[in-house]
Amino acid sequence: MDIPILYEDDNYIVFNKPAGLVVHPDGRSKEATLVDWLLEHRPDMKNVGEPLIIAGKEEEVDEDGAEKIAAKPGQTILRPGIVHRLDKDTSGALVVAKNQKAFEDLKNKFKNREVDKKYHTFVYGDLKEEDATINRPIGRSRTDFRLWSAQRGARGEMRDAITNYRVMARGNDSTNGEAVNLVEVEPKTGRTHQIRVHFKAIHHPVVADPLYAPKMAPLLGFERLALHSVSISFKGIDGKKISVRAPYPGDFMRAVEMLQKD
């Protein structure tokens, strides 16, 4: 399994996570994960962080910016150095802490919103504003337990969620003429599916999103969620500023070229 490393020092590794790779096991499936890579290539990191221990009834765990995971009672799921996650089909920059001191520090920085994350995504339609802020609390969907919602009728606890965005390019899909925008997104909070939920709420869902736009045709050749974690910036435990940018994968590069030819 080849997972490109964008940056590494004594305290952190920043990966360029490929689309289709799960960050850590869910206790059920046998597919390879980023944790498997860590346990093989950095075995000294095995006990860094906080393992997930499932006790009692089956649980679902909500973590920063990623889908929920399910696991059977009695299982211990190792998560060496994992402070945040990306959805399985989201590609791009993901930071892992290599020791406990770095883990605790980075965990606090995520909690205090001191980690800057930027994403690039393609969304359906033409956004009215060139740059704007989506400030909509997120709760549970009333119609599907897998989904979250920032629209009227969401149920359960409504958690604050703020997403800034700016339009980078506008164009159309050459096969059907549908409008599509390339957008840079900066989430200020880390709610589950936040970017996907917020753009769905303003009626411009992420291209090829199987959960939030299941009936919309994929555009620009995408066969997976059109979302890429393009950069991450934070101060290390020594005060040094670490800023890492993740190059586009092939499908993003092709999509940009298609948009530019329009």
Q: Give the chain's domain count.
A: 1
**Domain of residue 172, residue span:** 5-261
Of the candidates 38, 4, 28, 31, the residue with the CA atom closest to the CA atom of residue 18: 4
Are 126 and 153 spatial neighbours (Cβ–Cβ below 8 Å)? no
Reply yes or no on whether 87 is catalytic: yes
pLDDT at 202 over 70: yes
Work out the angle at residue 195's Cα, subtended by the Cα atoms of residues 87 and 254, and round it to the nearest 5 degrees: 70
Q: Which amino acid is at 89?
A: D
How does pLDDT run across 128-186, given as a tens digit for each residue?
999 999 998 887 766 655 766 677 666 666 678 899 999 999 999 988 889 999 999 99
Query: What is the structure's pLDDT at 29?
Result: 61
Residue 64 is predicted with a pLDDT of: 44
pLDDT at 83 over 60: yes
- Helix or strand or coil: residue 114? coil
What CATH number corresponds to the domain at position 213? 3.30.2350.10
CA 48 to mean position of chain CA atoms:
22
pLDDT at position 239? 94
Q: Given 87, 173, 209, 251, which residue is catalytic?
A: 87
- Residues 63-76 have pLDDT tens digits of 444 444 444 555 67
